[in-house]
Amino acid sequence: MENDLRWLPTKEASSFLGVSSQFLKKNRDIKNGFLIEEKHYILGANINSSILWNVSEILKEFHYRGRLIRKGQQIISELKKEVKK
């Protein structure tokens, strides 16, 4: 996967990642999102060029954020149990 699918245009990247193209675009750092320019995406040479997305790095970021959310939920659940005691 690393070499063949690393950088994909928006349509292919959104399909591969299982998210909408709007989700990718709104989560760029220039929109206060978590996807970082030149790490997760690069702009094309002109205004009409497709944005290219580093799907390998984005998958790592999705995984990291998913782990954070689950860990946060676990901590909240444990705190609620402590309060009930």
Domain locations along the chain? 7-84
Count of C-beta atoms within a 10 Å radius of residue 41: 23
Strand partners, 5: none
Q: Residues 30, 53, 38, 51: is their CA dihedral positive or negative?
A: negative
Question: What is the structure's pLDDT at 84?
Answer: 79
pLDDT at position 24 over 70? yes
**Assigned architecture for domain 7-84:** Orthogonal Bundle (1.10)
Average pLDDT of span 7-16: 96
Question: What is the structure's pLDDT at 81?
Answer: 84
**What pLDDT, in 10s, does the model give residues 25-82?**
999 999 999 999 999 999 999 999 999 999 999 999 999 999 999 999 999 999 988 8
pLDDT at position 1 over 50? no
Question: What is the structure's pLDDT at 3?
Answer: 53
Distance of CA 5 to the CA centre of its chain: 16
Q: Residues 78, 80, 83, 85: is their CA dihedral positive or negative?
A: negative
